[in-house]
């Protein structure tokens, strides 16, 4: 009652922080005032369809969206395991993107249909307010090669984020459209060479900040452009030192450089020369250099010699740029990693038996690795543990082998921000106890993935965590190691604590009746992604017209269930249930 008494001005401020799905679900239908406010007065809807149930999605599309399309300023469509086939269903309601006349931000993730992606991007050309675009892990056929030209043609686009276009990435050699509006461009996980980079920079003359990945196979490849206005660059580079210098020579206006290199080893004097000669305006330099020593003798002495070159006046006094070097004495390839401090990258591979040295006057300086979001732990119970004076406080994704040496937990004071946990279970008496230990420390965990199971024990169905809503028992990257659940195991899963609260399940099953058992017994299940051992598609290619397995599922599952095959991995069946 107190909330209802608030004036409209305060409701505006509160509602601006809420997604449209939550707004409509929580307040629409409460009373006439809220209905009128949501329909007539509120004009800043942000609509994010990630993780939405099919029931809520249908309700919003049929009852609410037709009357608020002109009030949507942000839209997120995804075709992932939690909302399979959502974009095609969305378009089947006869929505077109040009109806969202005030749309400022559009995000498209895991769109598996080339036609759907093309149709949406073409419709975007009529959006005069669209300034932000994200394409994440979408499938696109590059034979026609017009995706980038479509994007560069968007008249008001300022911020463009393109991440991991499948199956073959993007080709910029036919980029023929010049965009004078794009100022911020991220091409994460899209590999290009300096020829492609030349086209990108030439056709994006106002680009100020750029995230790119470059692999160059030529020893002396050059960037054929006039001096760029680029001031910020986040670069992953694999190539020769000469090619890298050729690149930097054309980027003399850079002020902020974040650089990851692979297979290059340069000492502090050489980096100083590159920065002073080619990048004199750089104010912030963040480096991660992964390399290996050609000879494995006296590694620690070589590390000391390398670190000495980063302790000159240029590094310590002028810029106060400190570095740390990590290496594993047991590594057969003599691999090491040197990086500037504080650590500025969002992922890190933590090896429990590694050694570490830095140029800091105190070994505890820069001990908080707050930028790290994805942490991979290489630690087993038998490993010798070397304590690093570093801590990870903002981990959202953790990958770990179990059993592990529990001493590493002193490096992670909290798992309060952990959203996804990827575990590989090896044989061991403490595996499930340690898994429960991790789950007890993760109050916001959404996804639990088992990348590998050595055995499907009954104790698996005894673990618990109140926040988990998504379970995965196979990954698309490791389908050769699939574990097929039988009828009893499906029922045990459905009756377990995690099974009762699970909304998205990714699992392999022995036969088609197991699919029915899971959907019938898992009352909160919204989406199911599976491979079935008896599915003929897994053994030979068959016509989708005569897809007997899909036909059987259509006949035996609820009529509201959306059923489709994964466009990229046809053996995977995707079901959006309720």
Phi, psi of 356 (to 5 degrees): -150, 140
- Would 222 be classed as within a structural domain? no
- List, in order, residues 6 or more apart from 81 with CB less than 8 Å away: 470, 472, 504, 506, 527, 529, 574
Q: Tell whether the model's pLDDT for residue 19 goes beyond 90.
A: no
Phi, psi of 13 (to 5 degrees): -65, -40
- pLDDT value of residue 10: 85
Predicted TM-score (pTM) of the model is: 0.90
Q: Which domain holds residue 506?
A: 469-577
pLDDT tens-digit readout, 198-214: 999 999 999 999 999 99
When pLDDT is averaged across residues 89-116 and rounded to a whole number, the result is 93
* 487 and 517 Cβ atoms separated by less than 8 Å: yes
When pLDDT is averaged across residues 351-366 and rounded to a whole number, the result is 87
- Would 174 be classed as within a structural domain? no
- pLDDT value of residue 437: 95
Give the whole-angstrom CA distance, residue 190 versus residue 155: 23
169 Rama sector, left if φ>0, alpha if ψ -120 to 50, beta otherwise:
left
When pLDDT is averaged across residues 292-312 and rounded to a whole number, the result is 90
Q: Tell whether the model's pLDDT for residue 159 goes beyond 60.
A: yes
**Most confident residue range from 341-350, 359-368, 421-430:** 341-350
- Would 281 be classed as within a structural domain? no
Q: Tell whether the model's pLDDT for residue 180 goes beyond 70.
A: yes
- Would 536 be classed as within a structural domain? yes
- Would 539 be classed as within a structural domain? yes
CA angle 72, 77, 78 (to 5 degrees): 165
- pLDDT value of residue 419: 98
The sign of the torsion formed by the CA atoms of 212, 215, 221, 224 equals negative
- pLDDT value of residue 539: 47
- pLDDT value of residue 1: 62
Percent of the chain residues past pLDDT 70, beyond the cut: 93
- Would 74 be classed as within a structural domain? no
When pLDDT is averaged across residues 107-123 and rounded to a whole number, the result is 91
Give the whole-angstrom CA distance, residue 251 versus residue 255: 10
Give the whole-angstrom CA distance, residue 514 versus residue 330: 46
Q: Tell whether the model's pLDDT for residue 125 goes beyond 60.
A: yes
Query: Higher model confidence: residue 171 or residue 292?
Result: 292
- Would 110 be classed as within a structural domain? no
Question: Which residues are paired to 377 by β-bridges?
Answer: 350, 400
CATH of the domain at 540: 3.30.110
Q: What mean pLDDT value characterizes the chain? A: 89
- pLDDT value of residue 508: 92
For residue 482, give the 3-state DSSP assignment.
coil
Work out the pLDDT band at 15, boundaries 50, 70, 90.
confident
Q: Describe the crossing of helices 487-495 and 512-521 by its angle, rounded to 10 degrees.
A: 20
Give the whole-angstrom CA distance, residue 37 versus residue 379: 55
- Structural domain count, the chain: 1
**Beta-sheet pairing, 527-532 with 355-358:** unpaired
pLDDT tens-digit readout, 432-481: 999 999 999 999 999 999 987 766 778 889 999 999 999 999 755 555 55
Work out the pLDDT band at 101, boundaries 50, 70, 90.
very high
- Would 411 be classed as within a structural domain? no
> Helices marked H in 309-465 — which ranges?
313, 431-440
Give the whole-angstrom CA distance, residue 197 versus residue 186: 12
């Amino acid at each position: 009652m107190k909330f209802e008494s608030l004036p409209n001005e305060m409701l505006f401020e509160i509602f601006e922080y809420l997604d449209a799905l939550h707004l409509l679900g929580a307040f629409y239908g409460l009373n006439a005032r809220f209905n009128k406010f949501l329909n007539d007065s509120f004009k800043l809807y942000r609509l994010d369809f990630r993780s939405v149930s099919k029931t809520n999605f249908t309700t919003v599309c049929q009852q609410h969206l037709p009357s608020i399309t002109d009030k949507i300023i942000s839209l997120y469509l995804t075709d992932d395991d939690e909302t399979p086939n959502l974009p095609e269903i969305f378009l089947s309601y006869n929505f077109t993107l040009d109806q969202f006349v005030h749309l400022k931000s559009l995000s498209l993730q895991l769109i598996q249909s080339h036609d759907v992606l093309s149709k949406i991007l073409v419709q975007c050309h009529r959006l005069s307010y669209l300034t932000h675009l994200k394409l994440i892990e979408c499938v696109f056929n590059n034979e026609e090669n017009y995706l980038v030209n479509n994007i560069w043609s968007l008249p008001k686009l300022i911020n463009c984020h393109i991440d991991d276009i499948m199956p073959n990435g993007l080709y910029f050699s036919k980029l023929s459209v010049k965009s004078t509006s794009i100022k911020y461009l991220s091409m994460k996980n899209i590999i290009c060479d300096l020829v492609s980079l030349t086209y990108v920079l030439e056709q994006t003359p106002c680009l100020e900040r750029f995230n790119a990945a470059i692999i160059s196979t030529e020893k002396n490849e050059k960037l054929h452009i006039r001096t760029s206005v680029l001031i910020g660059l986040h670069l992953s580079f694999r190539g020769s030192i000469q090619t890298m210098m050729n690149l930097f020579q054309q980027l003399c206006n850079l002020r902020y450089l974040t650089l990851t290199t692979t297979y290059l080893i340069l000492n502090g004097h050489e980096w100083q020369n590159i920065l002073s000669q080619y990048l004199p305006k750089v104010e912030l330099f963040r480096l991660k250099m992964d390399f290996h020593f050609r000879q494995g003798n006296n590694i620690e002495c070589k590390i000391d010699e390398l670190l000495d070159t980063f302790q000159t006046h240029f590094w310590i006094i002028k810029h106060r740029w400190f570095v740390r070097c990590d290496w594993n004495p047991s590594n057969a390839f003599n691999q090491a990693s040197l990086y500037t401090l504080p650590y500025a990258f969002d992922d890190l591979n933590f090896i429990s038996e590694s050694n570490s040295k830095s140029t800091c006057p105190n070994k505890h300086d820069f001990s908080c690795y707050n930028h790290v979001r994805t942490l991979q732990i290489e630690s087993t119970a038998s490993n010798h543990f070397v304590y690093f004076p570093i801590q990870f406080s903002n981990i959202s994704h953790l990958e770990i082998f179990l059993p592990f040496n529990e001493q590493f937990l002193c490096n992670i004071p909290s798992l309060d921000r952990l959203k996804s946990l990827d575990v590989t279970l090896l044989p061991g008496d403490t595996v499930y106890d340690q898994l429960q230990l991790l789950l007890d420390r993760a109050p916001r965990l959404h996804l639990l993935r088992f990348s590998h199971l050595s055995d499907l024990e009954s104790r698996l169905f005894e673990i618990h965590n109140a926040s988990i809503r998504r379970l995965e028992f196979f990954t698309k990257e490791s389908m050769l190691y699939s574990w097929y659940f039988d009828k009893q195991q499906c029922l045990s899963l459905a009756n377990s604590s995690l099974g009762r609260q699970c909304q998205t399940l990714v699992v392999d099953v022995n036969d088609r009746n197991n699919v029915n058992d899971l959907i019938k017994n898992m009352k909160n299940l919204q989406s199911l992604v599976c491979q079935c051992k008896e599915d003929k598609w897994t053994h030979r290619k068959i016509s989708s017209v005569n897809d007997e397995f899909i036909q059987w599922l259509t006949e035996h599952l609820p009529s509201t269930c959306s059923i489709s095959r994964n466009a990229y991995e046809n053996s995977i069946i995707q079901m959006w249930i309720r």
